[in-house]
């Protein structure tokens, strides 16, 4: 069952040359989703996960975060559901593979500042390989992480690009649903050293998420 939206005032900034796709933020966010970087279509429209075929919006709805399927142009409605979006790197590219490791690491430092200001209950990074590189955690799996960002629990999800063949839509929805159930059960507390990722994924999966189009579309 979808939870009814809570009325909040959305906070969506305007596009700038250094941030062509503005963050979607608001007070009292339950989940702040973090894409890898904007794809060219997203940068053109100023909208997150805007590339046709990206499964983010479908997964968000089918997992129960929204009561209907939103389209990228409706991203300003997300804070009313307790959801926000940012990116690890703000520079657009045709594919996430075009990002350097240094860019991802710098993005991690910038993300920490964003999270510290927004204070969501949980940060959900949409892109496992990007998370591994950005935060120097090569063996990180999907699900809840042992580490936090700015004191906020971190949950890693797969890249939602339609060309990410390793995870089909039903699997992506189930993983998004696991995050939603965890958050709704009030588990959003800083994980201790004995907490393990909710889904174990070997370090060598044979999947290079950075080689498919951007997680943010």
When pLDDT is averaged across residues 40-63 and rounded to a whole number, the result is 96
Q: Which residue range(s) make up the domain with 181?
A: 19-211
Whether residue 164 lies inside any domain: the answer is yes
- Are 153 and 115 within 8 A, CB to CB? no
For the cut 90, the answer to whether the pLDDT of residue 3 exceeds it is: no
| 199, two tokens | 């889904």
Q: Answer whether residue 204 is part of any domain.
A: yes
Asked if residue 204 has pLDDT above 60, the reply is no
How many domains are there within the chain? 1
Residue 162, in any domain of the structure: yes
1 domain-assigned: no
User: What end-to-end distance do the CA atoms of the chain give, in Å?
Assistant: 28
Q: Is the pLDDT higher at 13 or at 112? A: 112
Domain membership of residue 8 (yes or no) is no
User: Could you tell me the CATH number of the domain that includes residue 93?
Assistant: 3.40.470.10
User: Per residue in 39-50, is it b (16+ CB within 10 Å) or e — as a string?
Assistant: bbbbbebbbbbb
What's the gap between Cα 25 and its chain centre? 13
pLDDT reported for residue 159: 94
Q: pLDDT tens digits for 105-120?
A: 999 999 999 999 999 9
Tell me whether residue 6 is in a domain: no
Is a pLDDT exceeding 80 seen at residue 156? Answer: yes
CB 76 within 8 A of CB 11: no
Tens of pLDDT, residues 14-40: 555 557 899 999 999 999 999 999 999
**Average pLDDT in the chain:** 84
Q: Residue 195, CB half-sphere, CA atoms under 13 Å: how many?
A: 17
For the entire predicted model, the pTM comes to: 0.82
Token code pair at residue 84: 């926000």
Q: Tell me, yes or no, whether 2 lies in a domain.
A: no
């Amino acid at each position: 069952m979808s939870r009814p939206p809570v009325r909040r005032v959305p906070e969506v900034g305007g596009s700038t040359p250094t941030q062509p796709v503005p963050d979607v933020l608001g007070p009292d966010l339950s989940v702040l989703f973090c894409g890898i970087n904007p794809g060219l279509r997203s940068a053109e429209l100023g909208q997150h996960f805007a590339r046709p075929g990206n499964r983010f919006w479908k997964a968000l709805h089918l997992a129960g975060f929204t009561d209907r399927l939103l389209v990228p142009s409706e991203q300003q409605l997300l804070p009313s559901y307790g959801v926000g979006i940012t990116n690890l790197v703000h520079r657009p590219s045709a594919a996430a593979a075009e990002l350097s490791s240094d860019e991802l690491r710098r993005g991690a430092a910038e993300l920490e500042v964003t999270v510290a200001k927004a204070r969501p209950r949980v940060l959900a990074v949409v892109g496992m390989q990007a998370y591994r590189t950005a935060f120097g955690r090569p063996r990180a799996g999907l699900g809840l992480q042992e580490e936090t960002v700015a004191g906020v629990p971190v949950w890693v999800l797969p890249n939602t690009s339609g060309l990410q063949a390793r995870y089909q839509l039903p699997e992506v929805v189930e993983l998004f649903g696991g995050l939603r159930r965890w958050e709704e059960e009030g588990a959003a507390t800083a994980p201790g050293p004995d907490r393990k990722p909710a889904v174990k994924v070997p370090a060598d999966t044979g999947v290079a998420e950075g080689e498919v189009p951007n997680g943010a579309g």
